[in-house]
Amino acid sequence: MLAYDLPADAIDEYIQLGESTAIHCMQPFCRAIVEVFAEQYLRSPTANDVARLLYIGKQRGFPGMLRSLDCMHWRWKNCHTAGTGQYAGRSGSSTIILEAVADYYLWI
């Protein structure tokens, strides 16, 4: 659901996982991520944070930039057989594309 930005009811047809099962698995995962990372990474930047990030961006030749967008292809070694062709990357193996917006200190 997170990787493909799909609602729980769309997962049923897309990857053959029931809506209630998807929600049952996703909720504890999201709670754990927030519990572990919220205080340091999953918060809005303060005025000092913004000033520091703008300064770092300017030093690196990107004035006015607070964050950057990044995409990566992760090899999906346990891809189900039915999805092997659909998720084939340039390398020929199954991959998942992940997008993240992060700053210099990895605030997401």
Q: Residue 17 in contact with residue 11, Cβ under 8 Å?
A: yes
Lowest mean pLDDT among 18-22, 35-39, 68-72: 68-72
In degrees to the nearest 10, what's the CA dihedral of 22, 23, 29, 30?
130
pLDDT of residue 28: 93
What pTM value is reported for the model? Answer: 0.41
- Partners of 95 in beta bridges: 75
Q: Which amino acid is at 44?
A: S
What is the pLDDT of the chain when averaged over all its residues? 76
pLDDT at 17 > cutoff 80: no
Q: Residue 29 in contact with residue 18, Cβ under 8 Å?
A: no
Q: Residue 84 in contact with residue 95, Cβ under 8 Å?
A: no
Dihedral sign (CA 34, 35, 40, 46)? positive
pLDDT of residue 94: 79
pLDDT tens profile 89-98: 667 777 777 7
